[in-house]
Amino acid sequence: MSRLPPLEELVNLFEVEEVARQRLAPELFESIAAGAGAGLTLGRNREAFDRITLRPRVLVDVRAMDLGTQLLGRKLETPILVAPTSRQTLLHPEGELATLRGAAAAKATVVLSSRPGIPLERIAAQARGAFWCQLEPETGAGEFRQLVRRATDAGAQALCLSAGWRGEKPAPPVDWTLVARVREWTPAPLWIKGILAPGEARTAVEKGAQGIIVSNYGGRLVDGAMAAIEALPAVVEAVGRHVPVLIDSGFRRGTDVLKALALGANGVMLGRPPLWGLAAYGAEGVQKVLELIQTELALAMGLCGKPNLAAIDRSLVKIHKR
Partner 1 sequence: MPAPFSRRAALRRLGAFAASSPLYQLGGQQRPPGLRERVPALEEIESVLEFEPVARARISRTAYDYVAGGVDGEFTLRRNRQAFEWAELVPRALAPAAAPDLSAEIFGQKLPCPILVAPTAAHSQVHPEGEKATHQGAAAAGVLMAVSSNSSYPIQEVAAAAKGPVWFQLYARDTPEGTRDRVERALAAGCQAVLLTVDTQYMSHRERMLHDRHLNIPAAGVPVRTRSRRQAGAPPAPYRLQPQNPDLSWKTVEAIRAYTNVPFLLKGILTAEDARLAVEHGVSGVVVSNHGGRYLDYAPSTLEALPEIVQAVGGRIPVLIDGGFRRGSDVFKALALGARAVLVGRPPLWGLGAFGPEGVRRVLEVLQAELAMAMAATGCATIAAIDRSAVLVDFA
Q: Binding residues for partner 1, per CB under 8 A?
A: 8-9, 11-12, 49-63, 65-67, 253, 255, 259, 291, 294-300, 302-305, 315, 318, 320-322
- β-partners of residue 111 are 132
Q: Considering beta carbons, is residue 8 or 27 the nearer one to partner 1?
A: 8
Residue 191 identity (one-letter amino acid): W
Cα separation, 195 vs 182, in Å, equals 19
Residue number, 67 or 161, with CB nearest to partner 1: 67
Nearer Cβ to partner 1, position 78 or 162? 78
Closest CA to 85 of 32, 46, 137: 32
Spatial separation of the C-alpha atoms in residues 309 and 237, rounded to whole Å: 19
Min CB(307)–partner 1 separation in Å = 9
Report how far residue 300's alpha carbon sits from residue 123's, in angstroms, rounded to the nearest whole number: 34
Residues 110, 248: Cα–Cα separation, whole Å: 13
Closest approach, Cβ 213 to partner 1, in A, equals 24
Q: How far is the CB of 119 from partner 1 (least distance, A)?
A: 35
Please state, in angstroms and rounded to a whole number, the distance separating the CA atoms of residues 242 and 47: 30
DSSP letters along 261-308, please?
A: HHTT-SEEEESHHHHHHHHHHTHHHHHHHHHHHHHHHHHHHHHTT-SB
Could you tell me the smallest distance in angstroms from the CB atom of residue 48 to partner 1?
Answer: 12
Nearer to partner 1, 85 or 255 (CB): 255
Nearer to partner 1 by Cβ, of 11 and 180: the residue is 11
Q: Dihedral sign for Cα 250, 106, 98, 161, please.
A: negative
- The 3-class SS string of 181-222 reads HHHHHCCCCEEEEEECCHHHHHHHHHCCCCEEEECCHHHCCC
Give me the least distance between CB of 60 and partner 1, in Å please. Answer: 7
Spatial contact of 112 and 84, defined as CB atoms under 8 Å apart: yes
Rounded-to-integer distance, Cα 194 and Cα 218, Å: 10
Nearer to partner 1, 38 or 65 (CB): 65
Work out how close the CB of 197 gets to partner 1 at its nearest, in angstroms, rounded to a whole number: 27
Tell me the closest approach of the beta carbon of residue 265 to partner 1, in angstroms: 16
Please, which residue, 27 or 50, has the CB nearer to partner 1?
A: 50
Least distance from partner 1 to the Cβ atom of residue 285, Å:
17
Based on CB atoms, which residue is closest to partner 1, 195 or 312?
312
Euclidean distance between CA atoms 279 and 87, whole angstroms: 12
Radius of gyration for the alpha carbons in the chain, expressed in angstroms and rounded: 19
